[in-house]
Structure 1
């Protein structure tokens, strides 16, 4: 899918056809194929057309550069940094299969490598026994403490106990994995809202963040996931997982532009170091890369 998208985009910008109404219509269709939602794709194309009328680009390459700048401007990013001398809680949210548990482990290692002391992983996805086991394995591999309860236990209680364990050390960071079974949405929403209340009450002021993990390969359905979780508990930032040359993650432009949620992290490969802070300029450039 991504290769077809890149091929069509390349063909459009290397053609000798005029930059006219048909060109912009074709571009809108191609952007939608790149997992940018229809509304955002049309708005981006309209902005491009407007700027082209003002700038009067002399080549298709110049038009492409203008579009890349527009994409960069439309993508909000944020650097999440734990507050020093505070009890920080980062809640990992998202549907099953997006890579929440692995992303939580990557973040734990990422922050530890950058000097954050007292990091605890909280296994608050008690619905899937495998999620608890997986997080414990990550904890063993990284030498990071994991707070967990039995399978089927109260996930809010896990977050409560993890926060208390951290409070005994004075400050640090709890990264909590959570369940994501959207097919049982009402129960999930109630569960997440309870966890949200507990986390908000335990974290230091300004040190609680809700991070939605979106799978780059999911396509436009990722936007609907973002809507659902944002409506349920409010999302502070996105962790875009499984992002590589074959998965462009175009959905994030719609999530950022329409929902106002910034992109915080990019996760790519399987190792703990395959994580970086999001950079709008680099992301926009990568979106066009083969």
Structure 2
């Protein structure tokens, strides 16, 4: 099964939600009038899919003003525009962001590579997501390391170690209950010394209103920069799509403590509110990096707005 097939299947609940509130989806729309009733149906569909009021208003305005004769094509254009933050760089054919392209002649002192800090609340699947990301980049020819920065949950370190053994990825561990910043420092130093392309740093799950834990997250971020100047290159938050607007509010608080550069959205197959991707991009101002529609490693793939919208509006 191709990724396009899995994506269409994973978005089935959201697509059904759109169709329930806007039955015109899937019809021949070449001459479908954009009257008040149709636009009202579309508005209800978008709100039900968790697109949010401000974005829905902009989408409706775009659909109304579009010169496209096909209503579905006009809607597709409007959704794609909402899913792309201003100035967002395009992914290359491998699905690797431009920031991850190593220098042609890396310095022997500063090996080309990057650190990605992965954060989020409890239970969103950060550790499993890190393993899937590691496998993805290895399949594209990159060397990878893991840092088990969740020192408060013994199972997290053990789980990452299992994934490391399975994938052949080195895992930097610390003692249970130890300082996660120390683990991050050691891991960043090791990545730099080895010249590894990518270090993915796991962090303890925490709630956005736990002030001391948010301060600890800031400390982890700082010490990575001390070990390797300019790092972490990226801070990605893992969001469970099922949490919808609640997850978005959590992300805003995280973003205030440690500025995000991207979001990984998982479990899109488990919700009828896949439209949450739009307010994530709109309100956080950062791109969706990867999306997940299942449990298998291949069910987590780089996000492409046009591909997503095509699957969402498929008949």
TM-score, normalised by the number of residues in structure 2: 0.80
Structure 2 alignment gaps of length 5 or more? 1-12, 92-96, 103-110
- Equivalent position of 1:153 in the other structure: 178
Deviation of 1:83 after TM superposition, in Å, equals 4.5
Q: Which residue of 2 aligns with 1:277?
A: 302
1:90 corresponds to which residue? 116
Which residue among 282, 288, 291 is the counterpart of 1:263?
A: 288
Count of aligned positions: 282
1:68 aligns with 2:76: yes
Alignment of structure 1 residues 1-290 onto 2, 5 Å: 2=14, 4-13=16-25, 14=27, 19-51=34-66, 55=67, 57=69, 62-76=70-84, 79=91, 80=97, 81-84=99-102, 85-117=111-143, 119-182=144-207, 184-205=209-230, 208-244=233-269, 249-289=274-314
The alpha carbon displacement at 1:233 in A equals: 0.8
Cα distance in 1, alignment partners of residues 147 and 100 from structure 2: 16
> Offset at 1:212?
1.2
CA pair 56-251 structure 1, distance change in 2 beyond 3 A: closer
* Offset at residue 166 of structure 1 (A): 1.6
Q: Distance in 1 between matches of 2:145 and 2:41?
A: 49
Maintained 8 Å contact 1:243/1:267: yes
The offset of 1:107, in angstroms, is 1.0
Per the alignment, do residues 10 and 289 of structure 1 end up closer, same or farther by CA in structure 2, a change over 3 Å counting?
Answer: farther
- The Cα of 1:10 is off from its aligned counterpart by 4.9
Change beyond 3 A, Cα 1:247–1:30: closer
Gaps (5+ residues) in structure 1?
none
Aligned counterparts of 1:152 and 1:31: Cα–Cα separation in 2: 45
Aligned to 2:108: none
Closer, same or farther: CA 278–183 of 1 in aligned 2, 3 Å:
closer
Q: What is the CA deviation profile of residues 233-256 of structure 1, one whole-angstrom value per residue up to 9, with x for unaligned ones? A: 111111121233855632111111
Once residues 151 and 270 of structure 2 are traced to their aligned partners in structure 1, the CA distance between those partners, rounded to angstroms, is 34
1:11 Cα deviation (Å)?
0.8
Shift of 1:159: 0.7
- CA RMSD in angstroms comes to 2.5
CA distance in 2, matches of 1:227, 1:197: 20
Q: Distance in 2 between matches of 1:176 and 1:202?
A: 13
What is the TM-score with the length of structure 1 in the denominator? 0.87
Q: Secondary structure at the match of 2:131?
A: helix
CA displacement at 1:231 relative to structure 2: 1.4
CA distance, structure 2, for counterparts of residue 9 and residue 184 of structure 1: 36
